[in-house]
Amino acid sequence: MQTACQAVQHQRGRRNIYNAAVWYYHHCGDRMPIVMVTEDAEAIQQYGSETQGVFVISFKDYLDNFWPDLKAAHELRESILQSRREQESESQESHGREYAEHLPLEVLEAGIKSGRYVQGTLNVNKHRAQIEAFVRLQGASSKDSGLASDILIHGMKARNRAIHGDVVVVELLLKGEWKGRTGALCDNDSEDKASGEAPSEPMPTGRVVGILQKNWRDYVVTFPSKEEVQSQGRNAQKILVTPWDYRIPKIRISTQQAEALQDFRVIVRIDSWESTSVYPNGHFVRVLGRIGDLEGEIATILVENSILVAPFSEAQLCEMPTNTPEKPWQVSAEEERKRRDLRRTHLVFSIDPKGCEDVDDALSVRTLSDGDLELGVHITDVTHFVAPNSYIDVEARTRATTYYLADRRYDMLPPVLSSDLCSLLGGVDRYAVSIMWQLDKTSYEIKSVWYGRTIIRSSYKLFYEAAQELLDRNFGIADEIPEFKNLDEKSRQARLEELAWAIGRLTDIARHVRAKRDRCGALELEGVEVRVQLDGRKNIHDLIPKQPLEAHETVAECMILANHWVARKIWESFPHQALLRQHPPPHQEFFAQLRECAAAKGFSIDTWSNKALAHSLDKAEDPSDPTVNRLLRSMATQAMSNALYFSTGCCTEAEFHHYGLALDKYTHFTSPIRRYSDIVVHRLLMAAISKDKKMEIKENLLSNKDLEELCRHINNRNRAAQHSQKQSTELFQCMYFKDKDPETDERCIADGVIYSIRTNGVLVFIPRFGIKGAAYLKNKDGLVMSCGPDSRSEWKPGSLQRFQDKITSTTTGGESVTLHLFDHVTVRISVQASRCHSDTIRLELVSNRPYEVPSSELSQPSPLLLKSDLVREVTRCAEEAQLAQDVAVDAIQEEYPEYCQTKGWSLYALLEEIRDLALLDVSEDCGI
């Protein structure tokens, strides 16, 4: 029921919208009819025939008259109307209340201010979605509450209709009502009803009393099977659909298509969640793809991470320069006058993986006339081609990053930039933004630095292995470097010596820079130990965990140096509106598992500073088992806080520090092709240079408030990129193992290492496949694992006893087996299929002894599964299945060439992603 004031406001708003439609009709010269669409019957009657050429009609009439054949739109309208009718019906029913009413906004704000309530973001534990959720405090709540940990929200009633990601207001319960987390492993789809395990120490526990911000989005759901639909009761049009994300509750929608959509992934939206309803109400949006199809599952991952990958629009592409054989791109005379020309004075070269086409960085080093050295880092000048607030700039800002999935990538910028004009290819002129340092010839200490726009022509496009061979003075590799072909022997030798000198000098400088950071406590975390090779089609040909070549570290160290100096420069020029990257020190309690696991092997880990941690990890080496150090570094990675972008106007200078890299200031400058943060930093650097020259600043700099908002968006998109990358890798792993018989296929048996002890099982890492997962020692029937004389496992009645670094299984017959941290065991890999959610890898202990490689595998060069093999096999099987079923999911495939630049990774890009992963906790171990 409306008040008189509300009715007047409604009429005024209705009239204003109509007046705007009339104005626009006259603005178009009365030549273009204008349609105002509304569900307000009074407005249709009042304005329907008031102005010729302006039509006021209902949504139903609009669809019937303008889009009679657009079936999906008619169905969507009906679904929304039905959802609204149900919402109105429920709101009229005051009885049967399922949840407490949310408190009014003014009460919530007053309670937060007084300290009675606290606010934060709701994070649901996907492994116990019905039971456990946590609220991470934010804003004033995190400083004023005095709480040292998150707040536990136990059960759906206490969650009070809040959904994962909502910003909520929480009232703390009395200490006597606090609960603890459960330490047992559990399946994702179980509701944790029968674990029977004692929880951990009580922690602050509360209940949701209000929601400040609903962060609802599109949700991918699955319709129930025919049998489940029949069991749901009297009204078959009201269906409970199950979201793909375990953390989202079931959603009730109204549709007549339930039976037809049983085998498809479908997108729905939530409309409301009344206090009288057990479940939220929503409406059907569109069909996404068939369950189990590769393209459908990839599309699911994209939607669940809110990643939009539509092709670049015509308007965006029209802003792009052209570079065709008929109309080749050239350096303009105006840019030649404005830029420093390095084409004839500097030996510039790039070092990338074989076949890499998107080269965004190049290096140079030379001896100056006074004997000092000049080191140069040259980054492609993307901002020359991407003007602020242009169509392509807005699109790049929205995407914020290039998204890497297991078998493809979705680029932030169109290919004409990312793989052509902004790629620093060999032998062609390119615009760059360069940083050049003058270094002391003996100590390599920096004497001065120059920043500016340049023109470069890369002399060599090297691959990492070639650079390493030249560093080791193995000149035979020259046969594989195109630039050395067709040279006479004398010229060839002279140029080889010149290039080898440059690579050697770069490596010496990088060693010095790295040693300086090491002395300050820089960390080398698990993940950098990777070697990648790409084939001619940009597929990953090999992925082997091992120490990288020194050439990798040389390039990475030069990029870190450039990022650090640019951070210093833009902060000095714009202390309150510079975009930097911070990595706060981790909370000490997060290192508990690391310290306990290291102690089990006799190692002591000092975590009180980054320097102490780095030193401790370096010493924690087991000569007989290199996996131990790898797992300890992985645990250190998981304990880390997230590295985040921020605006310097929002933090004190003491908060700028980058813990992992041991630098006081850091930013991202070296990859503007694939990170929007780098584009912002390039503009800031150009503005800083103009400011130094007392020139007009042409760049449109963001205010501190706008920059902070942009940083939040980029951080959010980076998390989405990390999650989608992880989920797509898990998808391919499951699809690879799904068609293999775990009982007979030797590829399903592997060696695993125990890295965590739980009350009812262990967590296991499988080096061969890079898989982490849970292995149960007690099954759902209450039986425990026992190992016979041959060490083969079987289930028997008994009990488990958990200790800090081991777990013992004892049968009623007195047989016992003990598993320790870092024990090698034999596991069987299978896939736990799910209609509604993603499939998951399931691990089963076969033996408490290490896996013995069959003699048939001993002759193989590597026991590792190559990532490209996995991707190719899964893709081939998916294509064959698609052809056999004649399933039409061509839409995604047809768009693919338009917005997917390559099907592989740049190695430096990969190393940088891994370096970021080492500073982002995106792991979600089973049942933790």
pLDDT digits (tens, 9 = 90+) for 876-890: 565 555 554 443 333
All residues at 6 or more sequence positions from 109 whose CB lies less than 8 Å from its CB, including other chains: none
| AA identity, residue 30 | D
Between CA 477 and CA 480 the distance in angstroms is 6
**Phi-psi domain of 77 (left: phi exceeds 0; alpha: psi -120 through 50; beta: other):** alpha
End-to-end CA gap in the chain: 49
Distances in Å between the Cα of 653 and the Cα atoms of 572, 658, 669 are: 12, 12, 20
Q: Is 773 in contact with 761 (CB distance < 8 Å)?
A: no
Q: How far apart are CA 830 and CA 844, in angstroms?
A: 8
Q: Are 585 and 641 in contact (CB under 8 A)?
A: yes
Token pair, residue 553, equals 């570290």
Spatial CA neighbour of 23 closest among 59, 58, 15: 15
SS3 letters across 341-373: ECCCCCCEEEEECCCCCCCCEEEEEEECCCCCE
* C-alpha atoms less than 13 angstroms from C-alpha of 716 in its C-beta half-sphere: 14
Looking at per-residue pLDDT, the higher value among 513 and 626 belongs to 513
Q: How much is the pLDDT for 894? A: 34
Helix axes 907-917, 550-573, angle to 10 degrees: 70
Paired tokens of 277: 């309803």
Angle made by CA atoms 517, 563, 676, in degrees to the nearest 5: 140
Under DSSP, is residue 4 helix (H, G, I), strand (E, B) or coil? helix
Contacts of 596 (CB under 8 A, 6+ apart): 804, 805
> What pLDDT score does 408 carry?
86
CA dist list (Å): 136 to 139, 238, 294, 448, 879 = 10, 35, 35, 45, 43
Q: What is the pLDDT of residues 894-914, one digit of tens each?
A: 333 333 333 333 333 433 443
**DSSP-derived pairing of the beta strands 348-352 and 460-463:** parallel
Name residues whose C-beta falls within 8 Å of residue 498's C-beta, 6 or more positions apart in sequence: 347
Would strands 446-457 and 340-341 be described as parallel, antiparallel, or unpaired? parallel
Confidence of residue 855 (pLDDT cuts 50, 70, 90): low
| Burial status of residue 738 (CB atoms within 10 A of its CB: 0-12, 13-18, 19 or more) | middle
3-class state of residue 446 by DSSP:
strand
Using DSSP's 3-state secondary structure scheme, residue 82 falls into helix
379 neighbors 452 (Cβ within 8 angstroms): no
Tokens of 313: 């629009």
Which of 789, 826, 787, 776 minimizes the C-alpha distance to 810? 787
Residue type present at position 267: I
Task: Kindly report which listed range (262-271, 473-482, 697-706, 788-797) carries the lowest average pLDDT score.
Answer: 788-797
Mean pLDDT over 618-623 rounds to 84
Token digits for 304?
A: 């669940």
Q: What is the DSSP string of 156-214?
A: HHHHTT--TT-EEEEEEPPGGG-B--B-S---TTS-S-S--PPB-S-B-BEEEEEEEE-
Q: What is the mean pLDDT of the chain?
A: 83
pLDDT at 133: 94
Q: Quote the crossing angle between the two packed helices 610-619 and 627-639, to the nearest 10°.
A: 160
**Residue linked to tokens 């996907």:** 126
State the DSSP H helix or E strand holding residue 464, giving kind and residue range, or none if neither. Answer: helix 464-471
- What pLDDT score was predicted for residue 311? 93
DSSP result, 863-891: -SPPHHHHHHHHHHHHHHHHHHHT---HH
How many CA atoms lie within 13 Å of 749's alpha carbon, on the beta-carbon side?
14
- Per-residue model confidence (pLDDT) at position 188: 56
How far out from the chain centre does Cα 647 lie?
Answer: 21
Main-chain phi, psi angles of 165, to 5 degrees = 100, -15
What local confidence, expressed as pLDDT, does residue 328 receive? 93
Looking at per-residue pLDDT, the higher value among 355 and 309 belongs to 309
Which of 103-107, 212-216, 428-432, 593-597 bottoms out in mean pLDDT, i.e. has the lowest? 593-597
Q: What is the largest CA-CA distance in the chain?
A: 95
Residue written as token pair 């061969």: 768
304 neighbors 220 (Cβ within 8 angstroms): yes
Predicted TM-score of the model (pTM): 0.81
pLDDT given for residue 653 in this prediction: 92
Euclidean distance between CA atoms 696 and 106, whole angstroms: 47
Q: Which two tokens stand for residue 344?
A: 């004839």
Cβ count within 10 A of residue 385: 20
Cβ contacts of 869 within 8 Å, gap of 6 or more: none
Over residues 292-302, mean pLDDT: 93
What is residue 900's predicted lDDT score, i.e. its pLDDT? 36
| pLDDT for 538 beyond 70 | no
Percentage of the chain modeled with pLDDT above 90: 48
The residue among 683, 703, 696 whose CA lies nearest residue 383 is: 683
- Is residue 532 within 8 Å of residue 850, measured between CB atoms? no
Q: Evaluate the CA torsion angle 805, 811, 816, 819 in order and state its sign.
A: negative
CA–CA separation, 616 and 603 (whole Å): 8
**567 in Cβ contact with 686 (< 8 Å):** no
Residue 531 to residue 536: CA distance in whole angstroms: 17
Model pLDDT for residues 822-838, shown as the tens digit of each residue: 899 999 999 999 999 99
What does 831-860 look like in DSSP terms, one character per residue? EE--SSS--EEEEEEEESSPPPPPHHHHTS
- pLDDT band, very low/low/confident/very high, at 918 (cuts 50, 70, 90): very low
Residue 214 exposure: Cα atoms within 13 Å on the Cβ side: 15
Neighbours of 208 (CB within 10 A): 25
State the Cα–Cα distance between residues 424 and 613, nearest whole angstrom. Answer: 38
Rg (CA), the chain: 30
User: For the segment 46-86, what is each residue's pLDDT rounded down to a tens digit?
Assistant: 888 788 888 888 888 888 888 888 877 777 777 777 666 66
Q: 873, 322 in Cβ contact below 8 A?
A: no
Tell me, what's the pLDDT at 437?
97
Closest-CA residue to 352 (of 343, 339, 363, 344): 363
- The string of DSSP codes covering 211-247 is EEE-----EEEEPPPHHHHHHT-S-TTEEEEEESSTT
Residue 388's Cα: distance from chain center in Å? 26
Give the span between the Cα atoms of 823 and 597, in whole angstroms: 12
- Is the pLDDT score of 532 beyond 60? no
Q: Judge whether residue 744 has pLDDT over 70.
A: yes
**406-450 tens-digit pLDDT:** 888 899 999 999 999 999 999 999 999 999 999 999 999 999 999
478 close to 489: Cβ distance less than 8 angstroms: no
Count of residues in the chain: 928
Residue 845 · residue 827 · CB < 8 Å: yes
pLDDT in tens, 351-404: 988 877 789 999 999 999 999 999 999 999 999 999 999 999 999 999 999 998
Q: Is the pLDDT of residue 172 over 90?
A: yes
Round to whole Å and give the CA distance between 597 and 588: 15
Residue 27 three-state SS? helix
Partners of 832 in beta bridges: 840
Beta bridge partner(s), residue 404: 409
pLDDT band at 925 (very low <50, low <70, confident <90, very high): very low
pLDDT at 84: 67
